[in-house]
Amino acid sequence: MRYLDFHTHTWPEESVEIDAIVSCVAPEPVCDYQEGIYLSYGIHPWYIQGNDTEKLLEHVREAAHFNRVVAIGEAGLDKLKGPPMDVQKRLFCWQIEISEAVNKPLIIHSVKANNEVLNLRKTMNPAQPWIIHGFNGHPQEMEQLIKAGFYLSFGPKILYPSNKAAESFRQIPEDRFFLETDHTNKSIVALYDKAADIRGISVKVLEEAIRKNGAQLIPALKRS
């Protein structure tokens, strides 16, 4: 049994076998890593303001070529926090281009902006997979995004049965989802246990599905 924490901001500390994709935010340096730890690297929309955007992009362009960086992001759009939307969209589109150039998936931060992200995908028609992390939408929204080719990563919101994310997770096709702890102290083991219960399957079957999904997007996970 080997867990995959698809998006986190902290190093795993649980005493189980875990692969984790740790999010690094430009302009911080690409940190050292240990076995089972992978990195994503990008410009988070919250941290654009006050920074030289061209220098931020230089950091992403450089980091994108490192083997330890297996995905670009988290990048995206946030209508509740960050600079004006036109600035966010410009930086997001540049990171889409980087993702395409280096053939690495794009991990997306989207707050109240799924329609805009969906329209950009239709306009830019990327070859690389796009994964919306921390998905918390209704099943109808999930279905719309899946139909457009997105993957969705679910976080601790699924621990609460009344949350709409739990129902979306129950219905999502098994080849389109991941689990993540994001910026919380929640246990990936607890998330797997709850996720298996929501879908009415064993944790082992869930683990195999997530492992298969990860290997399809990120070659390094095939060797884990």
Phi, psi (degrees; rounded to nearest 5) at 29 = -70, 155
Domain assignments of the chain as residue spans, ordered by start:
3-223
Q: What is the mean pLDDT of residues 180-209?
A: 96
pLDDT digits (tens, 9 = 90+) for 11-66: 877 778 999 999 999 998 887 777 779 999 999 999 888 889 999 999 999 999 99
DSSP β-bridge partners for residue 151: 131
Distance, CA of 35 to CA of 68 (rounded, Å): 10
Place of tokens 């719309």: 144
Helical (H) or strand (E) element with 207: helix 203-217
Whether residue 156 has a cis bond before it, omega within 30° of 0: no
**207 has a pLDDT exceeding 90:** yes
Specify the pLDDT at position 34. Answer: 75
pLDDT digits (tens, 9 = 90+) for 78-119: 999 999 999 999 999 999 999 999 999 999 999 999 999 999
Average pLDDT, rounded, for the chain: 94
- Which CATH number is correct for 3-223, 1.20.1440.230, 1.10.274.10, 3.20.20.140, 2.40.50.420? 3.20.20.140
Report CA torsion sign: 46, 50, 53, 56. negative
Specify the pLDDT at position 51. Answer: 80
Distance, CA of 67 to CA of 84 (rounded, Å): 33
9 is in an annotated binding site: no
182 is in an annotated binding site: yes
Tell me the whole-structure pTM to 2 decimals. 0.95
183 is in an annotated binding site: no
DSSP state of 43: -
pLDDT digits (tens, 9 = 90+) for 114-168: 999 999 999 999 999 999 999 999 999 999 999 999 999 999 999 987 789 999 9
Specify the pLDDT at position 224. Answer: 56
